């Protein structure tokens, strides 16, 4: 049976009481994404890219993120643990390390449907969807995703600047426009 949004959030919330919350959340996500049809039924079919907030509090944020085909989000940090459970398409993650005055590349991971990626508090990553279908995932964060002060970096120059979620929103809008013009 498809889990309701309340159930999804309650299960993630329950994981916070475990010894290592991020690993407990990883297990919850593993289970949830094993039923992609159930998640689609609860959260709706994706036909546009963007971030949907399922829950946002000081200790936990749960998002449904749908990456538009062709989108590429510049490097950014979260300053809290994160677990990403893919249930459709594929996210291409690139990882970075801080350097004085910038960043250096530190590998990557293509995250396909059915896989969970765990990120530590100090992770810096960029995300792209290089495929021709939406990349859809549950993103769970161990804090208030929208309020914590953190950084992002220019894709080309790696210049650090304060995280700007309005810029991210515009990036989705542009990618959605490009994608819908092709169809
Ligand atoms: Fe991220």
Report pLDDT digits (tens) over 83-128: 999 999 999 999 999 998 899 999 999 999 999 999 999 999 999 9
User: Mean pLDDT throughout 149-172?
Assistant: 96
5-181 maps to which CATH number? 2.60.120.10
Q: Alpha helix (H) ranges present in the chain?
A: 5-15, 21-33, 36-43, 165-181
> Residue 168: CB partners within 8 Å, gap ≥ 6?
51, 73
pTM: 0.96
Q: Over 80: is that where the pLDDT of 38 sits?
A: yes
Ligand 1 mean position, distance from CA 84 (Å): 9
Ligand 1 mean position, distance from CA 176 (Å): 19
Confidence band for 137, pLDDT divided at 50, 70 and 90: very high
Q: What is the mean pLDDT of the chain?
A: 97
């Amino acid at each position: 049976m498809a889990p309701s949004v309340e159930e999804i959030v309650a299960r993630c919330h329950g994981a916070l009481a475990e010894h290592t919350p991020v690993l407990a959340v990883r297990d919850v996500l593993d289970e949830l994404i094993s039923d992609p049809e159930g998640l689609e039924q609860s959260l709706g079919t994706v036909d546009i890219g963007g971030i949907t907030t399922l829950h946002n509090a000081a200790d936990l944020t749960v998002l449904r993120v749908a990456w538009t085909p062709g989108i590429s989000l510049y490097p950014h940090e979260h300053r809290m643990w994160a677990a990403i459970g893919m249930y459709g398409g594929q996210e291409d993650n690139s990882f970075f390390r801080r350097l004085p005055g910038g960043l250096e590349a530190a590998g990557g991971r293509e995250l396909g449907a059915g896989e969970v990626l765990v990120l530590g508090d100090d992770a810096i990553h960029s995300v792209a969807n290089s495929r021709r279908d939406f990349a859809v995932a549950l993103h769970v964060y161990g804090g208030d995703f929208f309020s914590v002060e953190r950084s992002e970096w220019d894709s080309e120059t790696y210049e650090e600047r304060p995280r700007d979620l309005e810029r991210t929103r515009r990036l989705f809008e542009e990618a959605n426009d490009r994608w819908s013009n092709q169809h």
